[in-house]
Amino acid sequence: MELERIQHFSPTEAEIRDFFTALKNGSEDDIINRKALINTLVNAIYLYDDEITVIFNSTDIPVTVSVSLLGEIDGNNAAVKRSYIEKNGSP
């Protein structure tokens, strides 16, 4: 009975809050932080020729991202990056 209790992990509310705070404050360049975020939030990812379907752990309703939406996102990000790079600063 004691062995089963030891093997079953039940985090406290404070431990859960600390975990999510660490994820939120972690560097987006840190691969360990990225993996922890995906492992915590994403249940499955299905890749097709023309779309990506993501199922999150919070719901069983799939989220579908089409190729056209990905192109639009890339276009929007390129505009932001260009405007940032093209800004002139003082010498």
Kindly report the pTM of this predicted structure.
Answer: 0.55
State whether residue 21 is helix, strand or coil. helix
User: pLDDT at position 73, please?
Assistant: 75
d(CA 18, CA 13): 9
d(CA 65, CA 9): 35
- DSSP code for 58: T
Higher-confidence position of 47 and 80: 47
- Domain extents in the chain: 2-86
pLDDT for 49-86, tens place per residue? 888 999 999 888 898 888 888 778 777 666 555 444 45
Cα-to-chain-centroid distance, residue 9: 24
User: pLDDT at position 59, please?
Assistant: 85
User: pLDDT at position 85, please?
Assistant: 47
Q: What radius of gyration, in Å, describes the C-alpha atoms of the chain?
A: 20
Block residue for tokens 């939030």: 41
